[in-house]
């Protein structure tokens, strides 16, 4: 059932939205379908096409609710559907309910952060806790934000459709953020037993390809697709034979997916030729430097630092600054990197971010400050809710304890 939820949530919800035109009602219907599946499948077995089964049940529930609430629904503000977009392909030549849903969530009447958060919750089926972690905010604050966003969409009667081509560029920035956050959440799951959620990674890749088909000449759309391809090319090498986490320096690069790298490198070059690069193009260029290095010790860290400098100018954020500090530790030495990391210690967004403590620990190990490194790894392990990452951090602590004995 958990597997079906991960793989089918977006398709079922997006399809049900075509009937309800209401976020809360659609979500209620989909949750009801999953509850019925739990009871039915345990006795009758999983159907050949779980998604179709769930969609049928959810849509029937939506129709039933519509009949029961006919009077109430007539007086209720619903999402407007453009009838033409339900019966024919839009001028983009792409028809996909997930795109309808993502563009509805990412309407310019909402603040950008709210657009992204709502799309992650509704399109990707991420829990409010997971969305809050992606934004580094408290769960209660994110729950309130999502509630306000759904009400605003209903009141504004925002159309449930893929925008016409002329409108796309005014909406695309938030959509790209959604797809990127979907990918990063899948690439390293914030919580759970597995390092990654492959279904979220593949969903983000599908959406990135759809967007590239919609806007093939947009540099940032191209850059995002390149970024996902290049980063995901390492998927098979991030976990060892016994399920242990493997850091980038320890990965067998011969197992990286060469076709994805080759496609990603071509796309990076295309994006860079389109003028001043945006954040996704710059992140893709950083990933390209890693992908082009035959070995860890041949990585061009100076070039990576330079790209991070451009990225900070384009997209300033504590997380970008953290990644730059890590690159700086390899380009100019761990003492320089540690100073840059310590400068970020007062950033509120990073106060519970495990990667800051882990980055400090790695610099301290290289500086032979073993006791401090052990404490930093312990802090990172305490803040980490992904079990594979936590096990790796615990192993580093044990290594340092053995070094002391």
Residue-wise pLDDT for 100-158, tens only, equals: 777 777 877 788 788 888 887 877 667 788 788 778 788 899 888 888 888 887 776 66
Using 50, 70 and 90 to split pLDDT, how confident is the model at 79?
low
118/170: higher pLDDT: 118
pLDDT at 4: 56
Q: Is 318 exposed, middle or buried (0-12, 13-18, 19+ CB in 10 A)?
A: middle
Three-state DSSP state, 216: coil
Q: Kindly report the backbone phi and psi dihedral angles of residue 159, in degrees, each rounded to the nearest multiple of 5, phi listed first.
A: -65, 140
Residue-wise pLDDT for 213-225, tens only, equals: 888 999 999 999 9
- With beta carbons less than 8 A apart as the criterion, state whether 245 and 392 touch: yes
CA distance 18 to 26: 9
State percent of the chain over pLDDT 90: 48
pLDDT at 124: 67
State percent of the chain over pLDDT 70: 87
Q: What residues does 239 pair with on adjacent strands?
A: 245
The mean predicted confidence, pLDDT, of the chain is 85
Residue 93 has pLDDT above 60, yes or no: no
Q: Kindly report the backbone phi and psi dihedral angles of residue 256, in degrees, each rounded to the nearest multiple of 5, phi listed first.
A: -65, 145
CA-angle at 382, arms to 372 and 180, nearest 5°: 105
- With beta carbons less than 8 A apart as the criterion, state whether 26 and 13 touch: yes
Residue 33, H or E segment = helix 23-44
For the chain, the domains span 2-76, 319-405
- The β-bridge relationship of strands 191-192 and 385-386 is parallel
- Greatest alpha-carbon span in the chain: 75
Residue-wise pLDDT for 270-305, tens only, equals: 999 998 999 999 999 999 999 999 999 999 999 999
Considering the entire predicted model, what is its pTM? Answer: 0.78
Hey, CA dihedral for 394, 396, 400, 405, is it positive or negative? positive
pLDDT at 69: 60
Q: Rounded to whole angstroms, what are the CA distances from 315 to 213, 281, 283, 284, 391?
A: 25, 12, 11, 14, 32
Question: Tokens in use for 111?
Answer: 């603040």
Using 50, 70 and 90 to split pLDDT, how confident is the model at 172?
confident
CA distance 92 to 103: 14
Distance spanning both ends of the chain, measured CA to CA: 47
The topology (CATH level 3) of 319-405 is: 1.25.40
pLDDT at 159: 64
Q: Rounded to whole angstroms, what are the CA distances from 57 to 1, 10, 61, 357, 396?
A: 15, 15, 6, 47, 49
CA-angle at 403, arms to 397 and 404, nearest 5°: 95
CA distance 221 to 201: 16
Q: What residues does 192 pair with on adjacent strands?
A: 386
Average pLDDT for residues 194-206, to the nearest whole number? 89
pLDDT at 322: 98
Question: Tokens in use for 190?
Answer: 């914030």
Residue 75 CB neighbours (<10 A): 7
Residue 94 has pLDDT above 70, yes or no: no
Q: Which CATH architecture has domain 2-76?
A: Orthogonal Bundle (1.10)
215/227: higher pLDDT: 227
């Amino acid at each position: 059932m958990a597997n079906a939820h991960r793989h089918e949530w977006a398709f079922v919800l997006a399809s049900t939205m075509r009937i309800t035109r209401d976020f809360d009602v659609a979500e209620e219907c989909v949750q009801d379908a999953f509850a019925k599946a739990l009871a039915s499948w345990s006795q009758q077995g999983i159907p050949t096409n779980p998604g179709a089964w769930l969609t049928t049940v959810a849509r029937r529930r939506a129709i039933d609710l519509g009949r029961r609430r006919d009077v109430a629904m007539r007086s209720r503000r619903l999402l407007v559907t453009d009838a033409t977009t339900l019966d024919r392909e839009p001028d983009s030549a792409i028809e996909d309910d997930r795109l309808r849903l993502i563009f509805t969530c990412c309407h310019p009447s909402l603040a950008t952060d709210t657009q992204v958060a709502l799309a992650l919750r509704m399109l990707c089926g991420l829990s409010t806790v997971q969305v809050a972690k992606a934004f580094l905010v408290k769960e209660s604050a994110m729950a309130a934000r999502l509630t306000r966003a759904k009400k605003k969409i209903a009141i504004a009667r925002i159309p449930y459709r893929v925008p016409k081509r002329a409108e796309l560029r005014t909406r695309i920035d938030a959509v790209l953020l959604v797809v990127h956050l979907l990918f990063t959440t899948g690439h390293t799951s914030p919580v759970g037993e597995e390092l990654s959620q492959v279904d979220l990674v593949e969903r983000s890749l599908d959406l990135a390809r759809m967007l590239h088909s919609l806007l093939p000449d947009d540099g940032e759309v191209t850059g995002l697709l390149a970024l996902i391809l290049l980063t995901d090319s390492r998927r098979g090498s991030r976990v060892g034979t016994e399920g242990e986490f493997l850091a980038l320096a320890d990965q067998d690069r011969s197992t990286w997916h060469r076709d994805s790298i080759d496609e990603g490198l071509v796309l990076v070059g295309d994006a860079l030729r389109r003028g001043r690069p945006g954040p996704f193009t710059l992140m893709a260029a950083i990933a390209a430097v890693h992908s082009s290095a035959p070995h860890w010790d041949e990585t061009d860290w100076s070039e990576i630092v330079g790209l991070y400098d451009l990225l900070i100018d384009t997209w300033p954020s504590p997380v970008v600054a953290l990644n730059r500090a890590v690159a700086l530790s390899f380009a100019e030495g761990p003492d320089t990197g540690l100073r840059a990391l310590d400068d970020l210690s007062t950033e509120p967004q990073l106060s519970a971010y495990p990667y800051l403590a882990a980055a400090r620990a790695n610099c301290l190990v290289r500086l032979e400050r073993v006791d401090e490194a052990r404490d930093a790894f312990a802090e990172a392990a305490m803040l980490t809710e992904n079990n594979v990452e936590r096990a790796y951090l615990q192993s580093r602590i044990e290594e340092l304890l053995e070094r002391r004995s």
